[in-house]
């Protein structure tokens, strides 16, 4: 990344996101009953949901589809001018898309990353206005504390599968100024097996890991954060009693050091309950690069991950 590119601060944070599911009723039930989210609106076959920590009116849209997967992820920009600047960059670098509309959101620019994942950029958004029992004691909270299910506070990060991790990483670094906090190299020492990126001090907002199939544009997982490690453990018990299979965790990741728990929602999309991970305050922080041998030693907790964790994504093409 050049010095000019590293000074791009046009992305504020990960924004609303949309999941496709072949089983929308049970998928919405998973997010409401087990994760503790609320339904904000329904329009046709789409359901809009929010976490208790969302300042925007909604953050997750669930749509019926013949298969699971990511309909799109988005970033909110810092200003209307920042939105225009990033759209201009996309259009001048061969990634031009189209303007589109969305419920309770202003104009959205839709485009694809180099692996074909759909993204949107937007600035205008409606803020959530709590009423009745939703009204918090503290006016600085968007709504009253949920205290239900896993009690997720907000979207933490999105993990996508990519055939060319390096190309996707460079796309976000060069075009959007994301910082890359960790990279894992493949056995040849050149190709990248994973990249952990962020537009903020949070260790990861956007992650790319190696696509090991012939697929493209696939989702590995969405992660929602809770306030403590204890809540991750509590979520594991809630999932177990609900008959939801735990794929991995609870444990601590090597990269970024987040505490994790993975299940799949009934439509098949993988969802993580996450807590922690380090923050990066240093302006001159250098990307930590793991070579394949050192990565394989899994320093830290070294918890075993099942093989399908590295191959399963949505849509499922096995
Ligand atoms: Fe994750």
Average pLDDT over residues 99-104: 97
Establish if 143 belongs to a structural domain.
no
Report the CATH number at residue 274.
3.10.180.10
* pLDDT at site 111: 98
* pLDDT at site 257: 96
Establish if 290 belongs to a structural domain.
yes
pLDDT above 90 covers what percent of the chain? 94
Place of tokens 């990279």: 183
Q: How far is CA 35 from CA 89, 94, 213, 224, in A?
A: 37, 39, 30, 9
Ligand 1 midpoint to CA 92 (Å): 32
Q: Give CA–CA dist 248/285, Å, rounded.
A: 30
Ligand 1 midpoint to CA 156 (Å): 8
Question: Per-residue pLDDT for 5 more than 70?
Answer: no
Average pLDDT over residues 258-262: 97
Ligand 1 midpoint to CA 4 (Å): 30
Establish if 176 belongs to a structural domain.
yes
* Residues facing residue 40 across a β-bridge: none
* Residues facing residue 83 across a β-bridge: none
* 233: its two tokens: 């453990």
Establish if 315 belongs to a structural domain.
no
Ligand 1 midpoint to CA 271 (Å): 8
Split at pLDDT 50, 70, 90, the class of 26 is: very high
Task: Count the alpha carbons within 13 Å of 309 in the hemisphere toward its beta carbon.
Answer: 14
Question: Per-residue pLDDT for 3 more than 80?
Answer: no
* pLDDT at site 271: 98
Q: How many domains does the chain have?
A: 1
Q: Is the CB of residue 73 less than 8 Å from the CB of residue 14?
A: yes
Ligand 1 midpoint to CA 185 (Å): 18
Average pLDDT over residues 260-268: 98
Q: Give CA–CA dist 72/86, Å, rounded.
A: 17
Average pLDDT over residues 290-312: 92
Ligand 1 midpoint to CA 208 (Å): 10
Q: Could you list the residue range(s) of the whole structural domain that residue 281 is in?
A: 7-138+148-310
Ligand 1 midpoint to CA 270 (Å): 10
Ligand 1 midpoint to CA 88 (Å): 31
Task: Count the alpha carbons within 13 Å of 134 in the hemisphere toward its beta carbon.
Answer: 16
Ligand 1 midpoint to CA 224 (Å): 9
Q: Give CA–CA dist 302/193, Å, rounded.
A: 18
Ligand 1 midpoint to CA 222 (Å): 7
Q: How far is CA 11 from CA 4, 168, 179, in A?
A: 15, 16, 12
Establish if 318 belongs to a structural domain.
no
Establish if 42 belongs to a structural domain.
yes
Establish if 159 belongs to a structural domain.
yes
Establish if 221 belongs to a structural domain.
yes
């Amino acid at each position: 990344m050049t010095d000019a590119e590293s000074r791009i601060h046009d992305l504020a944070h990960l924004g609303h996101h949309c999941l496709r599911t072949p089983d929308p009723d049970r998928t919405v039930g998973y997010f409401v009953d087990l994760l503790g989210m609320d339904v904000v609106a329904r329009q046709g076959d789409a359901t809009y949901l929010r976490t208790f920590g969302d300042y925007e009116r909604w953050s997750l849209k669930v749509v019926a589809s013949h298969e699971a997967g990511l309909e799109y992820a988005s970033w909110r920009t810092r200003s209307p001018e920042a939105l225009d600047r990033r759209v201009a960059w996309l259009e001048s670098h061969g990634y031009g898309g189209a303007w589109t509309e969305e419920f309770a959101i202003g104009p959205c620019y839709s485009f694809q990353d180099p692996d074909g994942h759909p993204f949107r950029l937007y600035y205008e958004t409606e803020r959530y206005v709590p009423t009745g029992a939703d009204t918090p004691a503290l006016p600085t909270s968007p709504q009253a504390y949920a205290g239900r299910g896993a009690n997720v506070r907000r979207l933490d990060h999105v993990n996508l599968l990519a055939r060319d991790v390096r190309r996707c990483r460079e796309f976000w670094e060069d075009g959007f100024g994301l910082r890359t906090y960790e990279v894992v190299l493949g056995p040849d020492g050149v190709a990248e097996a994973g990249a952990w990126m962020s537009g903020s001090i949070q260790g990861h907002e956007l992650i790319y890991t190696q696509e090991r199939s012939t697929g493209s544009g696939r989702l590995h997982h969405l992660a929602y954060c809770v306030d403590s490690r204890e809540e991750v453990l509590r979520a594991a018990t809630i999932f177990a009693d609900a008959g939801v299979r735990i794929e991995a965790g609870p444990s601590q990741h090597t990269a970024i050091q987040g505490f994790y728990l993975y299940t799949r929602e009934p439509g098949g999309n993988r969802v993580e309950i996450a807590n922690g991970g380090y923050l990066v305050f240093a302006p001159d922080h250098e990307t930590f690069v793991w070579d394949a041998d050192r990565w394989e030693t899994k320093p830290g907790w070294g918890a075993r991950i099942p093989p399908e964790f590295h191959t399963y994504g949505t849509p499922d093409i096995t």
